[in-house]
Amino acid sequence: MQDNNFNNEEGSIGIGAMIVFIALILVAAVASAVIIQTGEKLQQNAQQSGDDTQREISG
């Protein structure tokens, strides 16, 4: 009987760890999407600045 309770506790701990792991994966996915979006925006701004500067220099 005591061995069965021990297995139940291990199962509960495993499920809790799995939930935390999945949550961390979701947070990492959101963070990476934000970083990629920010990088794309910075690249677009730099491209626009370069184009504007080239237009001003060439007349």
Domain residue spans of the chain? 24-59
- Quote the DSSP letter at residue 46: H
Quickly state the pLDDT bin for 42 (edges 50, 70, 90).
very high
Residue type, 25: I
In angstroms, rounded to a whole number, what is the distance separating the alpha carbons of residues 37 and 45?
12
- The pLDDT of residue 52 is above 70: yes
Q: What is the mean pLDDT of the chain?
A: 90
Query: Is the entire prediction scored with pTM above 0.85?
Result: no
In angstroms, rounded to a whole number, what is the distance separating the alpha carbons of residues 20 and 15?
9
- Quote the DSSP letter at residue 1: -
